[in-house]
Structure 1
Amino acid sequence: MRALVALFVLLNFGYFYFRLPVLAFGFTDWSVPVIALGLIFLFVPLLKLLSKFQLILDNTVWGELLKRIFPQLFTKEQQRQNVINISRYQKYGWLTGKHRALAISAGILLVVGVANTTLVPVLTSLPLFYNQSYRTLLGEVKESSFSSDVEPINLSQIRIVDEETAIKLAEKQIGEVPALGSEVQLGTMELQKVSNKLYYVGPLEHRGIFQWLSNYSRGSKGFVMVSATNPQDVRLVQTLEGRDIYLKYQTKGFVMDYLPRYLYFHGIVNVGMADFSFEVDDALNPYWVVTLYKNKVGYAGGDAVGVATVNAETGQINRYSLDNIPQWIDRVHPEAFVFNQILDWGQYINGFWNTLFAKTGTLKPADDQVHLIYGNDDSVYWYTGITSFGRDESTVGFIMVNSRTKEAKWYKVAGANETSARKSAEGQVQEKGYRAGYPVLYNINGVPTYIAPLKDKEGLLKSVAFVSVENYNLVGVGPDIESALRSYRQSLASRGNLFIPGNESKQLKVNGRISRISSAVKGGESYIYFMLEGDPRIFVGTINTSPKLPLAQVGDTITVGINDTPDITVNVSEFKGESY
C-alpha cells in the first residue's frame, strides 16, 4: 500500500511539473489527478471486499488470478481474521468505518473528475445553447468613421519590413558573430513600439539542452531588434549601460528556467497563461509579457483578465489587472482570442442554426488571422478585413480592436481584402517576379490604403506598394515610400478619386526662400529635395511637378502647393518660381 501511495505521489508530481494544470473552474486538466486520487481511495475498500469473498472465489479462474496478484489476501491468517470478524460485517455491512468513508470519497472524486472532462463542458459551453454568449465576448462593436478614428500616418512610421524579412535580417546579424549561432537560436519576433519607433524584437534563446547546461547559471545572451520602417536598422543588443544582458528565463529553458513552469510554481495556478511575448521597455530592459485569462463561456471563450511580466534577467514577476497595465506593454489581448471573438461576433449574428443552413447576414474575417497595426495616436490595434460568407475576394468593411482595452470598432468600407491587394500589388511588378508581403492598413490623406512591401525571391525588400482599399486597381509602386506615395497619388488623381468625399485634406500654399536644395535618383526617377528658411520640413518634388523645379537654387523665392499634413517630409503638388 505504501508503494502504491508513493507511486501516486510521484506520478502526480510529474503531472503537475509537466502539464501545469490550471486549478480553476472552466479548465479540464485538473481532472486527471482528481480521478487518480479517486482510484487510489477506491482501491483500499475494494481489496477489503475481495478478502471477504475468498471462499466464493476459490477454485475459479478469477480467484487464481487474484491469488497471484494479491497473495497476502489468501493466507490462512487472513482467512482466520475474516472468520473472526464476520459477525461484525453481517451486522454493519461489508464496509465499515474508514473503508466506507474511503469508498464514498472515491465515488465523489471519480464523479467530479469524469464530469469535469465530459458532461460539464458540454452543458456549459456548447454553442448550440450559448452562441450569444460567445458573440458578446468581443464586447460592444461600435460602427465608426475610419478617417476620424485613424489619423493620417507619418511617412517615417509606415511599416515596410514584414516579419519574414525581419527574421532574415536578424538571422543574418546573428550569423555575423562567430560561434553565436551554435549556442543560441532566434525566438519569436514580436512587433512593438520602442521609444515611439516600430521594431521587431526577438530573444536569443538556448538552442538545446546542452547549450542550456553550459549557460545554466546565467542564460543566453541578448536579443535582436529590427526596425519595421528601415531595413538598414538592425541591432544585436547584448550589453546595456555597460553590463551584459543574459536571458535566464525563457520559453526554450529547462527545469525551472522554463518560463511557463517558472510562473506556475511561483503562484500563477488559478488562471490560464497565453501569448508569451518578448518585449522591451523604452530603456531596452527585456521582459516576458504573459496574458492571464479565464474561460468566460463555461470551458471555452478564453478572455484576458490581466497580465504578468517577468524580468527575463532577474525573474522578478509582476501581475497587473486590466486597469493598471504599464504603458510600454503593447499586447494584452492575444491574437488568437481576438480572432476567435471576431469570428463568433460575425457568425452568430442570427443564432446557431443560421450558421449551418441559411447563413443570412453572417460575416467572417477575410484572413485566417488578425494583424497588429499602430495608429498615429499611440494606440495599438488588431486589424482584419470582414467579408460575407461566399465572398472571398472582397470585404464589406473591417474591424479594429484595441489590443490593450479591447475596444472594437467596425468600419463599413467595402473594397478589396488583403489577398486581392497583394495580387494587385504583385501585378504591377509581375515582370520582376516580386512577392508582396502582408498589406497593412493606413490612413493616407483620408483614404483607407493598404501598404505592402514587395520582395524578391530571397525575401529582400525591393519596392513598396500602395493599394486603395475601395478600389484595388488604384495602385502606386516605387522603390521607397516617397516615390510609391507619389505614384499612388497620381493614380488616385487620374481616376478623380484622390480623396474620400467629406475627408479632403486641406491644400496649403507655402511661400519662402530656399535654404538648401539637393537631388537624388530613385528607381530611375529624379527627385529634388529642398528646405525653406525658417521651416523644418523637407519638400520633395520631381520634374513632373514643374519644369522650373530642377532649375531652383539656394536663395530663390518660391511658392509651393502641399497637403496640410503633420509629416516632416512633404510632397509638392505645385511649384512656382517667384524670382525666376
Structure 2
Amino acid sequence: MLGPLLTTGFSFIATLLIVLFMAIKQKASFKQIKHGFFLLVFLFIIFYIFIYFLMPSIIVPNIILSNIIVGIISIPLMYFLLGNKLVYKAKEIKTVTFIGTILVLALPVIYIYSLFTLDNVHDSINTEMKDQAEPLSKEDTPIAVAPESARNKMQKAMSVVPNPQFYDLGKLQVQKIGDEIVYVAPLEFTGFWKFIRGQETEGYFTISATNINAQPEFVAEKMQYTNSSYLNKNVQRTIYNKYPQYVQSGTAQIEVDENGKPWYVQTLYLTMNVTDKPDLNQLKVAVVDPATGDVSLHDTDQAPDFIDGSVSSELASTENTYFGKYVHGWFNSMFGKKDVRVPNESGTEKSVTPIFDESGDMYYFTDMTSPKENIDSALGYTMINARTGKLTYYNGDMNNGIMDSEGAKQIVNKEYPEKNWEGSMPILYNIDGNATWVVNVLDPNGLFKQYAYINAADSDFVVFGETASQALASYRLALQQNPSAVGASDQVQPENVQGTVDRVLVTSTDDVQIVRFLLENDPVIYTVSTTIEPKAIFMTSGDDVELQAKIRDGATGSVESIEIEGLTN
C-alpha cells in the first residue's frame, strides 16, 4: 500500500496545511473545522482508491498532477464550508491563486523541458557502434518457430488444463531452459469473476522455439500472483506497493528456473531528473514469486542466472526509439533529421525479435531504416543484450543497398495473395557470405507453412521450402548458380575430394553455365561454374575427378577447383 499512501498523503498534507491556514484566518468554528476535517478524510479515501487502481509512479510530473487534482476538488469545497459566506481578503485569494497557477504551469514547463533533454536519454543508453556489419550465423541463432505459430498450438492444447474456461494464455516469452530454447506462456484469468472463483491459476505451457513440429507441454504449477489477478494479488500492484518510485516497462513476463518453478519478471527504471523520460543507464528488474508474492529487486545484469530477459522487449523497443530518433536531440528529430534512424515495426515482440547467440545469450534484434517515406532499404541493425540492456549498432558496407525487414515481409505477402499467407519474424542471416532475410510464412490462423529465404540485395532472389534444411539447401544451390552472388565467405574450409562422376546436370544463367553433379556413393550435390573450369560442361558419368570444395551440412558443395581426368590433365 506504500505507493497510494505516499502519493495521496503528499497531496493531502499540502491541502490540509492550506485548509488550516484558511480556518485560522477566518476564525472558523469548531463545528466548521470538524466538518472540514471529515470532508477532507472522505476525499482522501476516494483519492486513495483512485490511486490504488491507477498506480502512477511517484515521479515529479505525477506528484504535481495529483496536487492539482486534489486542489481543484478540495480547496473550493473547503472555501465554501469554512467560509460560511464570509468575505475573503484579496491578499488571501491572490496567495492561493498564485500557488495554483505555479502548479498548473509546472506541468507544461516540465513537458517542454523534457523535450530538450531527449538527447540526454539517448546518451544514457549503453551503446557500442560497429562499422562492420556482421549478419547473424544461421547456426548461432536457432529460433525457427514464429510466436504466432507457438501461441496457436498452445491455444489448441488448452483442453488439458483443469477448468480451461477460466483461463487464457498470457504473454509469450522465449527463454533457454537447460540446453533447449523454448517459448513459455502462463495461464491468465479471463476476468474478475473467474479470478474470484479460481483464486489461483493452474500453471504454464512450454513449446520448443527451434522445432517447427514440436507440440506444447503443460506444466502444473499453482500461481496466485499473476498479471490477471486482482487487488493485492496483481503482479503489477505487488511491485508498485514495494517500489512506487520506479516506472514499470511493459507487462511482467514468466521465466522458469532450473527446477521448473515459474517467476514473474518485470523491468523497472528511474526517470531523468524531473521529467518522465527514462534513465536507460539505471535499469532494474523485479522478480516476483507467484506463489507467495515475495518481491526482490536486482540490477538487470545481476538478476538470477535463469532469467534470460531481465530487460523486457518493451524496454528494448524504447531504447531503439531513443537511440535512432534522438541521436541529436528533439529539434533535430523534427527538422533536418541528421543521422536519424527509424526502427522497423516487423519484430515479433513490440517491434523487436529475440534471438540467441552462440554463447546462449539472448539479444533483441531490430533493423533500422530511413525516416524518409517510401524507402525500404536497411541502414543497419541493433542488437540489445537482454540482461544488460547494452545496445550494439551494426552498419557498414554490407547494408548498402539491401532491403529492410518490412520489404522482406512484403515479398512474402505478395507471393500467396489468394491464400492470405503472410511473412513473420524476419531475421537477417549470413548465408555463405550473402545477407539473407529468413522469414516464416504463416496462414491466417498463425500456422506455419513455409520458410522463405530472400537475398537482401536482390528482391527477385527468393527460395521457399517446407523445412529449414530444405529451404537452406535450395537457397545455397540457387546462390551457386547465380554468378552475381558473393562467394562463400563463412568459416567453411575447402576439402579435397576424389571420386567418380555418377550424374551430371548442366544449366545456364546470364551467359554462365552451371554444372551440378553427384559422385558415386557420395550424397553431396557439387556445383561448379564455367568461370572456374570451362571444360566442366563436357563432364560425363564415369569421369574420375579430383576437386576442392566447400561442403556445408553434408548436403551441398561449392567447387573451388576441379581436375577432370582426360579433360583437364
Do they superpose with TM above 0.5?
A: yes
| Shift, 1:50, TM fit | 4.3
| Shift, 1:41, TM fit | 6.2
The corresponding residue for 2:467 is: 480
| Shift, 1:432, TM fit | 6.7
| Shift, 1:49, TM fit | 4.4
Letter in 2 for 1:374: F
> Structure 1 residue 207 and structure 2 residue 187: aligned?
no
Q: Which runs of 5+ in 1 are unaligned?
A: 55-92, 240-244, 513-542, 553-557
Letter in 1 for 2:41: A
Task: Tell me, in whole angstroms, the C-alpha distance in 2 between the residues paired with 1:268 and 1:122.
Answer: 24
Q: Choose which of 36, 41, 45 in structure 2 pairs with 1:6.
A: 41
> Structure 1 residue 28 and structure 2 residue 10: aligned?
no
Q: Deviations over 1:132-184 (max 9, x none)?
A: 3243243434124344xx663428x633321211111000011x337643121
The corresponding residue for 1:64 is: none
The corresponding residue for 1:229 is: 210
Letter in 1 for 2:169: L
Letter in 2 for 1:313: A
Letter in 1 for 2:111: V
Q: Choose which of 235, 244, 252 in structure 2 pairs with 1:269.
A: 244
Matches within 5 A, 1:475-514: 475-496=462-483, 499=486, 503=490, 505-509=492-496
The corresponding residue for 1:386 is: 368
| Shift, 1:370, TM fit | 2.4
Q: Deviations over 1:305-340 (max 9, x none)?
A: 200011222222111023412232222333344334
Q: Choose which of 288, 298, 315 in structure 1 pairs with 2:264.
A: 288
The corresponding residue for 2:147 is: 163
Letter in 1 for 2:153: L
Q: Which runs of 5+ in 2 are unaligned?
A: 1-34, 500-514, 525-544, 563-569
| Shift, 1:572, TM fit | 4.2
Task: Tell me, in whole angstroms, the C-alpha distance in 2 between the residues paired with 1:223 and 1:562.
Answer: 48
Q: Is the 8 A contact 1:443 1:449 kept in 2?
A: yes
Letter in 1 for 2:384: V
- Aligned to 1:436, the other structure's residue is in SS state strand
Q: What is the aligned-residue RMSD (CA, Å)?
A: 3.8
Alignment TM-score, normalising by the size of structure 1: 0.72
Change (3 A) 1:560 1:172: farther
Change (3 A) 1:545 1:311: farther
| Identical-pair percentage | 20
The corresponding residue for 2:226 is: 250
Change (3 A) 1:364 1:180: same
Matches within 5 A, 1:187-206: 187-206=170-189
Task: Tell me, in whole angstroms, the C-alpha distance in 1 between the residues paired with 2:132 and 2:255.
Answer: 32
Q: Is the 8 A contact 2:494 2:550 kept in 1?
A: yes
Task: Tell me, in whole angstroms, the C-alpha distance in 2 between the residues paired with 1:10 and 1:248.
Answer: 27
Change (3 A) 1:548 1:511: closer
Q: Deviations over 1:18-67 (max 9, x none)?
A: 11122233x4266325642686467556655445449xxxxxxxxxxxxx
Change (3 A) 1:159 1:561: farther
| Shift, 1:478, TM fit | 1.5
| Shift, 1:375, TM fit | 1.8
Task: Tell me, in whole angstroms, the C-alpha distance in 2 between the residues paired with 1:485 and 1:162.
Answer: 17
Letter in 2 for 1:473: D
Matches within 5 A, 1:441-460: 441-460=428-447
Task: Tell me, in whole angstroms, the C-alpha distance in 2 between the residues paired with 1:408 and 1:191.
Answer: 21
Q: Choose which of 108, 117, 123 in structure 2 pairs with 1:119.
A: 108
Q: Choose which of 332, 336, 339 in structure 1 pairs with 2:317.
A: 339
Change (3 A) 1:428 1:511: farther
- Aligned to 2:160, the other structure's residue is in SS state coil
Q: How many residues align?
A: 478
Q: Deviations over 1:361-410 (max 9, x none)?
A: 43222336222222223222222222222353211222222222223222
User: Which of these two proteins has the greater Rg computed from alpha carbons?
Assistant: 1
Q: Deviations over 1:461-508 (max 9, x none)?
A: 222122233333333321211111111111222223655686563223
Letter in 2 for 1:463: Q
Q: Is the 8 A contact 1:476 1:488 kept in 2?
A: yes
The corresponding residue for 1:531 is: none
Task: Tell me, in whole angstroms, the C-alpha distance in 2 between the residues paired with 1:109 and 1:204.
Answer: 49
Letter in 1 for 2:284: G
Q: Is the 8 A contact 2:551 2:558 kept in 1?
A: no
Change (3 A) 1:21 1:506: same
